[in-house]
Homo-oligomer: A and B are copies of this chain.
Amino acid sequence: MKAVVFGGTNQLRIEERPIPVPGTGEAVIRITTTTICGTDVHIVRGEYPVRPGLILGHEPVGVIAALGDGLEPEYRIGQRVIVGAITPCGQCFSCLGGSHAQCGGPLGGWRFGNTIDGAWAEYLRVPDARANLAVIPDSLSDEQVVLLPDIFSTGLSGAESGNVRVGDAVAVFAQGPIGLCATLGAKLRGAALIVGVDAVPERLEMARRFGATHVVNVREQDPVAEIRRLTGGRGVDVAIEALGRQETFENALRSTRPGGTVSSLGVYSGKLVAPYEAIHAGLGDQRIVMTLCPGGKERMRRLLELVAHDRVDLTPLVTHHFAFDDIHEAFEMFSSQRAGVMKIALTPQAVGELVAQRVTARAFRQ
């Protein structure tokens, strides 16, 4: 099968690999759509360590192609599924304790494109499939669901971990795809005032579509001062950090009221510093909460329900389409944030080929 492989720092290669075979409790899915994530950019740039030779990608949409022992009759060949970026086993001490993303140890739930082969291939082997395969309702297209496995699950978790409550004031620092989903998450949890912060006008415009009641362009305004002003001097109840930089973290902390929460989603490449006055000498009753993406099929089922009942529409974020063969162009565009790209739908074949294939697939399912 065709696969996009990490070849070492700044190297992505298209290689031919054998189609994986499912072991007990595993499934193999034929990938129909996947995407590129900011974390993949970290990996390719060598900022987050992954072993060369691994197939990257952790946001799979596909069709069940093969099932290992123990998965029938709950699942059957031909079902359309998504799988979370995080694939917990459900059975270790961490999972049973509710810490699914830390399955088996630190970050252990993140396996695709990190410790095992990922979704940038024609086929993907899914471990602990019983805990991870989420069937897609027939009414939903690949593009409606491709952002659920990571971007939306992570963004929403920023609002959840921050415990945003109905009527809260919330600020979201950075309005890339995850920040936009955090903005949407704040809206979904009933925040009243939602301030989107970024430096790119197009992203601030998108922030309004995703629920921001106010936006702040950091090139034009001091976000901390502006948030203070908007909240009558009080500060927000919850500030969500969605970039992974000291500056945004610090601004989030300074924007938060005493007793409030900074909910951090970013992947940091260095230490975090909390200034003395921003933590009120340690006496401000503040919380700092960091969250990796929630996964597992129950999480995916909930997110699918939101899309199916028209509570969430993520398709405006899918701005471009590429086939695996064009991964270099896609990756370059995404990592340089060129051409107004937000998220790229990545498919094994070019779109023309796909249409033909879908016709076949439908025939197959009938």
Chain A residues in contact with chain B, CB under 8 A?
24-25, 48, 69-70, 88-102, 105-107, 110, 128, 130-131, 156, 159-160, 165-169, 185, 188-190, 192-194, 213, 234, 244, 257-259, 264-276, 279-292, 296-299, 301-303, 305-306, 308-311
| Nearest CB of chain B from residue A242's CB, rounded to whole Å | 11
A105 to B259, CA, bound (A): 10
Find chain B residues with CB under 8 A from A283 CB. Answer: 101, 107, 110, 267, 290, 292
| Nearest CB of chain B from residue A17's CB, rounded to whole Å | 25
Pick the contact of A167: B110, B267, B276, B306 (CB < 8 A).
Answer: B306
| Nearest CB of chain B from residue A228's CB, rounded to whole Å | 12
A159 to B319, CA, bound (A): 36
Known: A244-B282, A285-B292. A269 touches B258 (CB 8 A): no
Known: A90-B131, A282-B268, A288-B287. A167 touches B107 (CB 8 A): no
Contact present for A301 and B130 (CB under 8 Å): no
Contact present for A289 and B290 (CB under 8 Å): no
Contact present for B285 and A276 (CB under 8 Å): no
Find chain B residues with CB under 8 A from A270 CB. Answer: 276
A89 to B298, CA, bound (A): 14
A334 to B290, CA, bound (A): 38
A192 to B102, CA, bound (A): 22
Can you give 15 contacting A-B residue pairs, CB < 8 Å?
A24-B24, A91-B130, A94-B258, A96-B131, A97-B259, A98-B259, A99-B285, A101-B283, A107-B284, A159-B166, A167-B305, A190-B306, A192-B306, A267-B281, A285-B290
A285 to B290, CA, bound (A): 5
| Nearest CB of chain B from residue A145's CB, rounded to whole Å | 14
Find chain B residues with CB under 8 A from A194 CB. Answer: 309
| Nearest CB of chain B from residue A164's CB, rounded to whole Å | 10
A260 to B273, CA, bound (A): 19
Contact present for A192 and B311 (CB under 8 Å): yes
Number of copies: 4
Contact present for A193 and B268 (CB under 8 Å): no
Known: A96-B90, A100-B96. A190 touches B192 (CB 8 A): no
Known: A93-B298, A244-B282, A290-B285. A272 touches B271 (CB 8 A): no
A287 to B287, CA, bound (A): 7
Contact present for A284 and B106 (CB under 8 Å): yes
Contact present for A69 and B24 (CB under 8 Å): yes
A303 to B280, CA, bound (A): 26
Contact present for A131 and B259 (CB under 8 Å): no
Nearest residue, chain B, Cβ from A302: B167
| Nearest CB of chain B from residue A162's CB, rounded to whole Å | 11
| Nearest CB of chain B from residue A346's CB, rounded to whole Å | 23
User: Top 10 closest A-B pairs, CB basis?
Assistant: A167-B302, A99-B259, A90-B90, A96-B298, A192-B305, A102-B258, A188-B190, A91-B131, A90-B91, A272-B274
A193 to B169, CA, bound (A): 26
Interface core residue of A257, A276, A282 (most chain B CB under 10 Å): A282
Known: A274-B271, A290-B287. A107 touches B309 (CB 8 A): no
Contact present for B292 and A284 (CB under 8 Å): yes
